[in-house]
Amino acid sequence: MTTVFWIMLGGLLFSYAPVLLTFIFEKSQWTIWWYGILLPVFEHWLLNILLFMFVSIFLNVFTIQALSFKRIAERWKTACIRCNLRVPSLDENAPKEIPQVIYSDKDRFRIIAKGLTAAYIDSRRAELSNACGLFIWSVRPAKTDNGQVRPGYIDVFYTKEDILSSVQLSKTRKPNWGELTFGIGIKGYHTIKLTDMIHTGIAGLPGSGKSVQLRSLIVQAMCVHPKAVCIGLDFKSGSEFHIFKGRGNFILCDNFENAALVLNEIYQEYFRRAELVKRNEVENVYQIRGPNGERVNPIFIFGDEMAEVFYPISKLESKETIDAQKLVIDRLSKLARLARFVGVHLILATQRPDAKAIDPQVRSMLKTRIAFKLSQKEDSILWLNRAAALELPDIPGRFLLATDNGVFEQLQGLFVSKQEVKQMLQHVIPGSSQLYRRIMGQLQAGENSALSADGKMSEPGLPGERI
């Protein structure tokens, strides 16, 4: 009898100890206690131990799940009350219901929508996160196991910890060839393939992290693709891109005349590469391989504050400058529309993404969009089709990433200082690209006769990068 007593006491302690610890450390106001357990007593002591172990495990699992569901339901109810998130009703006198939580696990809970949409709740993620003390990072329509949408239900994905607020580029994993890492989110680093990225637009207020994001992407482009040609359009006296001048295959354009010559040569390169794709019968230039596995390298066009490019310049400027601006806009527009399959990628930044800052034809081709903190609701809706950029936390480098394949995620940009730029690019060999050498030769010699507005090839050779 004494043996049975100690076995029962040990089983009860083994069962209740995790629940008690959960109650203490999680500061929960709700718990479930099992006051009595009527179990058969076997003659063999080993059977009694196994029985109590099975019962204790079952009770622990059931109790912890019940506690977790109760905590999530209470937090969500509190958040809905504070944020006045109620189920819409046609009857004004009817009591306003709160969307109920019907299921929860460690990183997701499901609610009954009853007229609310996932997009509406997603637009209020920031205030709901603050109210319930959880970081809500995504809101989506609920789906079944086979991927079909379940009408009337919404899944809310959460975590107890926010995204890291400071991540150094030098300490992150180097992307593979043909990729760029945009930032870090709840699921880790977010890397996009160049074939999926197409062209990228960046919008954000001054000081929100827009220029640092550009700097991070340029460093990656030059380190991951050492022979890639990088064009920097910076008409603010080249202050932001000057650190890259003379490093790798980076070409700085700080006036319309130089930018017109460079972009026109890139446009001619488009025709050479398009012919190469056609001759090899492939979908894009990255599928082509040389005799020893060589690849055609990408061409990146980075633009800082594109309003300086697209805004009409003063009529007091020379005719050459005005004509050069027209050619720059024309080449950017054509490259944005045509050059996606030949390895030419535009990454353009602006403070306000309105029609004056970026030409509508160019803006429509920026399929990957980054939004840092914005001050105007109209700008956020124009850029992201929602006002979410106004609710971003005041953390430098925090942004929203939206792509044309449905990705919408909050990320933290990768920080890189100007001193780190020098260290990370010290092994990148300058002038390793034939296209780079050809363009620099024209810039240095001032061969403006190379400008051609008819779109014909300025010189033979397929392609510009020998493979």
Residue 256: predicted pLDDT: 93
pLDDT, one tens digit per residue, over 147-159 is 888 888 999 988 7
CA atoms of 458 and 30, how far apart (whole Å): 77
Q: Across 15-19, 74-78, 414-418, which has the greatest mean pLDDT?
A: 414-418
Residue 467 lies in a domain: no
Check which CATH number belongs to the domain holding 406 and give it. 3.40.50.300
Residue 461 lies in a domain: no
Ramachandran bin of 299, using left for φ above 0, alpha for ψ from -120 to 50, beta for the remaining angles: beta
CA atoms of 202 and 216, how far apart (whole Å): 13
Say yes or no: 142 and 240 in one domain. Answer: no
Residue 262: predicted pLDDT: 96
As a whole number, mean pLDDT of residues 420-426 equals 93
Residue 197 lies in a domain: yes
**Domain end call among 131, 159, 187:** 159
Residue 392 lies in a domain: yes
pTM here? 0.70
Answer with the residue of higher pLDDT: 133 or 229: 229
Residue 45: predicted pLDDT: 64
Residue 122 lies in a domain: yes
Residue 196 lies in a domain: yes
Say yes or no: 326 and 423 in one domain. Answer: yes
Say yes or no: 293 and 413 in one domain. Answer: yes
Say yes or no: 25 and 115 in one domain. Answer: no
Longest Cα–Cα distance of the chain, Å, equals 106
Say yes or no: 140 and 181 in one domain. Answer: no
Say yes or no: 201 and 228 in one domain. Answer: yes
Tell me which residue range forms the domain holding 57: 2-79
Residue 192 lies in a domain: yes
Say yes or no: 188 and 147 in one domain. Answer: no
Say yes or no: 64 and 109 in one domain. Answer: no
Total domain count, the chain:
3
Say yes or no: 272 and 314 in one domain. Answer: yes
Residue 221: predicted pLDDT: 96
Residue 464: predicted pLDDT: 41
Residue 106: predicted pLDDT: 78
Residue 22 lies in a domain: yes
C-alpha torsion 321→324→326→328, nearest 10: -130
Cβ(346)–Cβ(366) under 8 Å?
A: yes
Say yes or no: 272 and 373 in one domain. Answer: yes
Average pLDDT of the residues of the chain: 82
Residue 465: predicted pLDDT: 46
Q: Which residues pair with 200 in a beta bridge?
A: 347, 368
Structure tokens at 411: 């990320």
**Domain end call among 117, 135, 159:** 159
Say yes or no: 149 and 174 in one domain. Answer: no
pLDDT, one tens digit per residue, over 170-188 is 989 899 999 999 999 877 8
Say yes or no: 315 and 410 in one domain. Answer: yes
